[in-house]
Structure 1
Amino acid sequence: MNAPSITAAPATRLADLLPGFVTATMFATSNVLSKIVLISGADVLTLSFFRGAVGIVLLAAWFGLGTRPKPHTPRARWISIGLGVIFAGVVFGLFAAFARVAVPIGILSYFIYPLMTGLLGILFGLERISWRGALAALVAFAGLTLMIRANPHDIAWAGVAFAFGSAMCRTAILLITRATLQDSDPQTTTWYTIVASTAVLGLAALVTWNWQGPQTAAGWAAMMVVSVGTTVGIMCMFISVKRIGPFRTALVMFLEPLFTTILSAPVLGEVITPMQALGGAVMLAALVSFQLRR
């Protein structure tokens, strides 16, 4: 009589984790394909704006078909719009990094943001850290240093700088959200953030009068997949947060740099050295430990 319930429990847990896996897979695929878009002749600003414009249309359709999210207060709305301005820096910085360094190096450098968020959260009194968490943080920095300095050629430091800048913007968004928007609907926050960031990127394109799309059909196809893939990833992230919470979702998201590195080899021919792989593995393992121990 009890056998069905025993076998159903693991299946239920797996189903709860599935949206997080989909999110990591969609983001990883988009990371790799964005390099194809840039190689085909598109510029970073065009890719960033196009991704946001398609995302707005798809998110609006998704919200229209599902339950309408809880509206924001005027204060929360303006904070979310401000976050959108910062989010424009996240998107632009990450794509700019991919344009200058191998995608695995760019995404692993960007993924230092969970550690930066935790350490700055401690500095501002938003979090506490144990000695195990501090040790994990040091190991994560050591892994990142090994990964970057193990490059056999002269690495494009501008690309790493863009990735770090993107990570700093992501850190600011997480800390501001945690401090001011804890009681606000995350779907509504994301909507205002994406709309505001796309408006900023569109304004930048108008001011610079810069629109340089892909020069090949494959580039256009890749740009559309990037736009749809990141939006699907965001939708699945909403579902994951509701099913397993933000903490476990963040842990599952550490699969994104792993999947990105794996996909980069067959699709882009970007293979990192064994020492870089070791540094990246040490960094990711330490970041997971940091999330668990802080």
Structure 2
Amino acid sequence: MAGYGFILLTTLFFGSGPTFARLAFDGGAGPLTLQFARFSFAALGLWLLLAALRRTQGIEIRHLPLLTALVVLSGGASYGYMTSVRSIPVPIASLVFFTFPLMVGPLAHLVGDERLTVRRLLALAVGFAGLALVLQGGLAHADHTGLLLAFGAGTCVAISFQVSRRLTAHIPPMVLTATVASVSASVCTALVLLDGGVELPAEPRGWIGVTGNAVSYAVGLTCLFAAIRRLGAIRTAIAANLEPVISVTLAALVLGEALSAPQAMGALVVLAGILLAQSDRRPAR
């Protein structure tokens, strides 16, 4: 039950990220500045919280290769997904990004972590069919750069699920998130300086977007690692199909993008796929 609670928080906070990113960009913030803000906020806030709870923990040298891979994957996913909404609508970005649940299952099966049962394959298919309904239309006229950024981000997330599964067995999720965010913030600092400095928002909505995006990342990523630790990569990926439903709903409320009847039907199909996946109680290998 704790795992399901964590994935619910993940979908709520990550689902709001694209809308906050769009507000940040519309308010004048630059892509690298947004990444610097979200990683720096997460690193600072989480290390302070860990210090207050006295739960800090060192990283063993043997974990550095996987940790480095996770930093690269997390940074690529963050930059690709959030930056894609500059050139394509939030629903389109979510549809392309959320091809990653289809990749997680086969990857986990290939590396021997979890068995890809027929029911789980069906759940993945049902979930993605629901996403196609929720986020239907607009792909033919979308900007190709935005599409590539969103798809690349989804690929990074699919691989990071397998990497983080191994790391969370030895490193607490909050410590792992703080470490990943700290290294990513350092890299972003160097990139911002090379790019000519920060591009601060010029309007209040830009500051709301930057702040909201940073908070959504810090909370969402911590809960994601905690969910993977308890539910496994496949179930977490399938349950994460709820996230774009939240993204589309917030885009409708905040950005004025209306939901059509087929999209509402798609949301119900996504939920059906999630319930189908969770009904498979066979233990993972």
Report the TM-score range of the alignment, normalised by the length of the smaller protein: 0.7 to 0.9
- Rounded to whole Å, the distance in 1 between the matches of 2:121 and 2:3 is 31
Aligned to 2:142: 155
What amino acid does structure 2 have at the position aligned with 1:188? Answer: V
User: Is residue 104–residue 237 contact of structure 2 (8 Å, CA) maintained in 1?
Assistant: no
What amino acid does structure 1 have at the position aligned with 2:109? Answer: I
Q: CA deviation at 1:246?
A: 3.5
Aligned to 2:164: 177
User: Is residue 126–residue 179 contact of structure 1 (8 Å, CA) maintained in 2?
Assistant: no
Residues 1:141 and 1:26: Cα distance change in structure 2 (over 3 Å): closer
- Rounded to whole Å, the distance in 2 between the matches of 1:277 and 1:100 is 25
User: Is residue 43–residue 213 contact of structure 1 (8 Å, CA) maintained in 2?
Assistant: yes
User: Is residue 109–residue 160 contact of structure 1 (8 Å, CA) maintained in 2?
Assistant: yes
Aligned to 1:109: 96
Residues 1:139 and 1:235: Cα distance change in structure 2 (over 3 Å): closer
Q: Which runs of 5+ in 1 are unaligned?
A: 1-12
What amino acid does structure 1 have at the position aligned with 2:231? Answer: P
Identity rate of aligned residues, in percent? Answer: 28
What amino acid does structure 1 have at the position aligned with 2:52? Answer: L
User: Which secondary structure state, in structure 2, belongs to the residue aligned with residue 26 of structure 1?
Assistant: helix
Residues 1:141 and 1:152: Cα distance change in structure 2 (over 3 Å): closer
Q: Higher mean Cα deviation, 284-293 or 217-226?
A: 284-293
User: Which secondary structure state, in structure 2, belongs to the residue aligned with residue 76 of structure 1?
Assistant: helix
Q: Which runs of 5+ in 2 are unaligned?
A: none
User: How do 1:83-122 and structure 2 match up within 5 A?
Assistant: 83-122=70-109
Residues 1:85 and 1:153: Cα distance change in structure 2 (over 3 Å): closer
What amino acid does structure 2 have at the position aligned with 1:59? Answer: L
Q: Give structure 1 regions of 4+ aligned residues with deviation exceeding 6 angstroms.
A: 238-242
Aligned residues: 279
Q: Pick one of 225, 228, 231 that aligns with 1:246.
A: 231
Residues 1:288 and 1:123: Cα distance change in structure 2 (over 3 Å): farther
Q: Pick one of 26, 42, 50 that aligns with 2:13.
A: 26
Aligned to 1:4: none
Aligned to 2:24: 37
Q: CA deviation at 1:58?
A: 0.6
Q: CA deviation at 1:210?
A: 5.0
Q: Higher mean Cα deviation, 249-258 or 191-200?
A: 249-258
Residues 1:228 and 1:181: Cα distance change in structure 2 (over 3 Å): closer
Residues 1:198 and 1:72: Cα distance change in structure 2 (over 3 Å): same
Partner deviation per Cα, 1:187-241 (whole Å, 9 max, x = no partner): 3322221112222222222223253221112211321222123323345557767
Residues 1:129 and 1:292: Cα distance change in structure 2 (over 3 Å): farther
Q: CA deviation at 1:144?
A: 4.9
- Rounded to whole Å, the distance in 1 between the matches of 2:279 and 2:151 is 23
RMSD of aligned Cα (Å): 3.2
Q: CA deviation at 1:78?
A: 4.2
Aligned to 1:224: 211
Q: Higher mean Cα deviation, 55-64 or 284-293?
A: 284-293
Residues 1:273 and 1:153: Cα distance change in structure 2 (over 3 Å): farther
Partner deviation per Cα, 1:42-71 (whole Å, 9 max, x = no partner): 221211111111111111111111131443
Are 2:197 and 1:197 equivalent residues in the alignment? no
- Rounded to whole Å, the distance in 2 between the matches of 1:162 and 1:261 is 19
Aligned to 2:42: 55
TM-score (normalised: structure 2): 0.81
User: Is residue 19–residue 237 contact of structure 1 (8 Å, CA) maintained in 2?
Assistant: yes
User: How do 1:269-284 and structure 2 match up within 5 A?
Assistant: 269-279=256-266, 281-282=268-269
Q: Higher mean Cα deviation, 164-173 or 182-191?
A: 182-191
User: Is residue 80–residue 150 contact of structure 2 (8 Å, CA) maintained in 1?
Assistant: yes
Residues 1:37 and 1:90: Cα distance change in structure 2 (over 3 Å): same
TM-score (normalised: structure 1): 0.79
User: Is residue 25–residue 256 contact of structure 1 (8 Å, CA) maintained in 2?
Assistant: yes
Aligned to 1:10: none
User: Is residue 27–residue 230 contact of structure 1 (8 Å, CA) maintained in 2?
Assistant: yes
Residues 1:131 and 1:153: Cα distance change in structure 2 (over 3 Å): closer
Residues 1:255 and 1:283: Cα distance change in structure 2 (over 3 Å): closer
